[in-house]
């Protein structure tokens, strides 16, 4: 299987030596579960797209510091591409910004949440068990970093997991689109760097709670298995 990663942001240069760029994080995560995977990276923030939509088997949209409702040409172009993928029923996974832009492009809405920032490890609870799920605990422990939230889902979307903080945490559309608000590709060290950098922005209470949560287990590898199950089913 060949996965096309749609890169929507760059990691801060001082963090790249330790953590890589966002596509590197996803390649490391997914390749641990299936070393035979192939990858192609498309920097859509720079307007780079596949010449042929079928040159890969599936797509994944990364997270971004941008907001999907910003008036940026590259965001509008990406929404057009999401609609094309949806129309073609091409397999697509969205993470954080990717989760939000799928909703925004397909009839939903994303906006800045009145609940403030989500940082550190959060628990998202499944309300139904889809076929790609492992059938284990309905609770998912996942690293998050967001202030924007999906407030209206895409047409035809099913909410599979939620929390009190994030009502639309895991969403599926048909059998071809799956999106997560959380970041399976993050590691605690990277979350810590983000919170240190944004401490003044997110506030001391969110910072301290988020940093303390990093002592708990993050289930990114579990989500990687789910993503691959979904893409292969």
Q: Pairing relation of β-strands 91-95 and 58-61?
A: parallel
Our answer to whether residue 96 is catalytic in this structure is yes
Q: Which position among 45, 96, 99, 218 bears the catalytic label?
A: 96
Q: Which position among 122, 146, 183, 218 bears the catalytic label?
A: 183
Provide the CA 22 distance to its chain's centre, in angstroms.
Answer: 11
DSSP 3-state of 49:
coil
Look up residue 35 and give its two tokens: 């070393």
Our answer to whether residue 183 is catalytic in this structure is yes
Closest residue by Cα to residue 76 from 113, 122, 45, 54: 45
Query: 115 φ, ψ to 5°?
Result: -85, -5
Q: Which position among 86, 185, 218, 219 bears the catalytic label?
A: 185
CA distances from 193 to 7, 10, 202 (A): 20, 15, 13
Our answer to whether residue 146 is catalytic in this structure is no
- Catalytic machinery residues: 96, 183, 185
């Amino acid at each position: 299987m060949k996965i096309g990663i749609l890169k929507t942001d760059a990691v801060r240069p001082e963090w790249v030596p330790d953590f890589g760029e966002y596509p590197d994080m996803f390649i490391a995560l997914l390749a641990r579960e299936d070393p035979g995977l192939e990858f192609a990276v498309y920097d859509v923030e720079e307007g780079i797209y596949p010449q042929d939509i079928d040159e890969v088997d599936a797509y994944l949209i990364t997270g971004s510091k941008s907001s999907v409702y910003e008036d940026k040409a590259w965001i509008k172009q990406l929404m057009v591409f999401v609609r094309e993928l949806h129309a073609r029923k091409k397999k697509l996974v969205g993470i954080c910004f990717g989760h939000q832009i799928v909703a925004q492009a397909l009839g939903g809405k994303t906006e800045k949440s009145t609940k403030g920032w989500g940082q550190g490890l959060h628990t998202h609870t499944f309300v139904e068990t889809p076929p790609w799920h492992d059938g284990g605990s309905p609770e998912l422990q996942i690293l998050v970093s967001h202030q924007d939230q999906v407030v209206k889902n895409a047409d035809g979307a099913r909410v599979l997991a939620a929390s009190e903080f994030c009502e639309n945490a895991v969403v599926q559309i048909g059998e071809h689109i799956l999106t997560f608000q959380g970041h399976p590709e993050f590691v605690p060290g990277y979350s810590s760097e983000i919170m240190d950098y944004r401490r003044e922005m997110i506030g001391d209470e969110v910072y301290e709670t988020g940093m303390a949560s990093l002592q708990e287990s993050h289930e990114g590898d579990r989500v990687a298995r789910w993503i691959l199950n979904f893409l292969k089913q």
